[in-house]
Structure 1
Amino acid sequence: MAGGNAIRGSRVGAGPMGEAERGDLAERHSVVYWCANGHQTRATFAIGPSTEIPEQWDCTRCGYPAGLDADAPPSPVRNEPYKTHLAYVKERRSDEDGSALLDEALAALRARRGG
């Protein structure tokens, strides 16, 4: 006797799959971006009244910026090396300014010590 339960093997809330169950999908537009290494990245955007397609997108393979033109992709961003505090000070001050500040600080230190 094949008895049984009519809902055996299904889960609660299971029903027919399809557009009627979940609603209509938004209209989409697929865009291809190219990086300096020649990688192709495809991004899909929903089309709407305020949709703007970005000019650049990060490559999913190498992380370089990718552009819409395959013949002229954007150049990779050059990362600046770590700078110390002294390097930033040297950018703002000249050697003459540094000497003047040092002389002023030494004069103040000598005056405090009484020498």
Structure 2
Amino acid sequence: MSESFEDVSRWPVSRYFREVVAAQPDGRVLLAFGKLNIVVGCLLALWLLVAAPSSNLGGVHVVLLLGFPLVGFVWFLKDMPSPQLTAFEHIMRAPWQRKISVGLQIFVGLAPWAAIAKAVLR
């Protein structure tokens, strides 16, 4: 007897984030850094529009803050099984694979901050 699976291509993005991304440890790191980086990137963009362009921070930092969450999301999608199989994620990915994935998400989340720290300390 075959079970019918729901067509995930019809899921709204919010449901995918809630049911698939937030259920995984690397997904929780992705969401936390993604929200933080996007908010700070938007604030930095607004600040650069208002402030004098003589500061060390520039448009490249805005691009980094807004772009790295997308890189993290693509990395997450590459590592995760399809949404129908996420119930079996603990079988499909060994604990060391999950730890590496979380570490890579932390690296991707902190990369824009390293560039900002380097620019400010220069």
TM-score (norm 1): 0.25
Choose 1 or 2 for highest CA Rg: 1
Q: Larger % of strand: which?
A: 1
Which TM-score applies when normalising by structure 2?
0.24
More helix, by proportion: 2
